[in-house]
Copies of this chain bind each other. A is one copy, B any other.
Amino acid sequence: MFSTGHHRILSVLSRSGPQSRTDLARILNLSKASVTALVRELIEQNILDERERVFGFGRPAVMLGLRQDAASFIGISLQADPAHIVLTDPHGKVHRQFTMPLVTDVEACLAAMAGAVQDIRDAYPDTIGALAGIGVVIAGIVSGNSQICLASATLGWTDVDIGPRLAEMTGLPVFVENDANALIIGEQLFGNSGELDDFSLVFVSEGIGGAHIINRHLHRGHHGGAGEISHSPIAIDLEALPCRCGNRGCLETVAALPAILGAARRSGLPGDIGQIVELATEGQPEALAILHRAGTALGVSLSQVIQFIDPLRIVVRLDPHLVESVFARALKQAVEAHVLRRESYQTELVLGPLYPNDFATGAASLAAQHFLFGNTSL
Chain A positions within 8 Å of B, measured between CB atoms, are: 151, 197-198, 210, 212, 214-215, 217, 219-229, 231-233, 236-237, 245-247, 300, 303-305, 307-312, 337-338, 340-345, 347
| Given A225-B310, A228-B308, A229-B308, 11 further pairs, Cβ under 8 A | A210-B308, A214-B214, A215-B217, A219-B309, A221-B310, A223-B342, A232-B307, A233-B338, A236-B237, A304-B304, A304-B308
User: Is the CB–CB distance between A337 and B247 below 8 Å?
Assistant: yes
How long is the Cα–Cα vector from A310 to B197 in the complex, in angstroms?
A: 20
6 A-B residue pairings within 8 Å (CB atoms)? A212-B309, A223-B342, A226-B309, A227-B310, A233-B300, A233-B338
Q: Is the CB of B310 within 8 A of A309?
A: no
Q: Count this chain's copies in the assembly.
A: 2
Across the A-B interface, the 7 shortest Cβ-Cβ residue pairs = A221-B310, A226-B310, A222-B312, A228-B307, A223-B345, A225-B310, A236-B237
Contacts A222-B347, A236-B236, A308-B308 given: A245-B340 contact, CB under 8 Å?
yes
A224 partner residues in chain B, CB cutoff 8 A: 310
User: How long is the Cα–Cα vector from A312 to B220 in the complex, in angstroms?
Assistant: 12
Q: Which residues of B contact A337 (CB under 8 A)?
A: 247
Q: Which residue in chain B gives the minimum CB-CB distance to A346?
A: B223
**Cβ-closest chain B residue relative to A231:** B340
Q: How far is the CA of A229 from the CA of B339 in the complex (A)?
A: 11
Also in contact, A307 and B215, with CB within 8 A (given A198-B222, A340-B245):
no
Closest Cβ of chain B to A306, distance in Å, is 9
- Cβ–Cβ < 8 Å partners of A231 in chain B: 307, 338, 340
Q: Determine the distance from Cα of A307 to Cα of B305 in the docked complex, in whole angstroms.
A: 10
Nearest residue (CB) in B for A196 is: B222
- Distance (Å) between the CB of A341 and the closest chain B CB? 7
The residue among A223, A304, A308, A343 with the most chain B CB atoms within 10 A of its own CB is A308
Residues of B within 8 A of A344 (CB): 223
A247 contacts B215, C-beta separation under 8 Å: no
| A37, chain B: closest CB distance, angstroms | 22
In the assembled complex, the Cα of A309 lies from the Cα of B212 at a distance in Å of: 9
- Can you name the residue of chain B whose Cβ is closest to the Cβ of A197? B222
Inter-chain contact A227/B340, CB cutoff 8 Å: no
Contact B221 A311 (CB under 8 A): yes
Q: Write the chain B residue with the least CB distance to A238.
A: B236
> Which interface residue of A226, A237, A307 has the most chain B CB atoms within 10 A?
A307
A308 touches B217 (CB 8 A): no
Chain B neighbourhood of A312, CB < 8 A: 222
The CA of A300 and the CA of B233, in the complex, are separated in Å by 8
Q: Min CB distance, A336 to chain B, in Å?
A: 11
Most buried by B among A237, A303, A309: A309
Whole-angstrom CA separation of A262 from B236 in the bound complex: 25
Contact B345 A229 (CB under 8 A): no
A293 CB to closest chain B CB, in angstroms?
Answer: 13
- Pick from B210, B226, B228, B340: contact of A228, CB below 8 A: B340
Residues in B neighbouring A343, C-beta threshold 8 A? 151
B226 touches A308 (CB 8 A): yes
Q: Is the CB of A247 within 8 A of B217?
A: no
- A227:B308 contact, CB within 8 angstroms: yes
Q: Is the CB of B222 within 8 A of A345?
A: yes
The answer for the CA separation of A286 and B166 in the assembled complex, in Å, is: 62
| Bound CA span A236–B236, Å | 7
Residue of B nearest to A338 (CB): B233
A347 CB, nearest partner CB in chain B, Å: 7
Q: A309 touching B307 by the CB < 8 A rule?
A: no
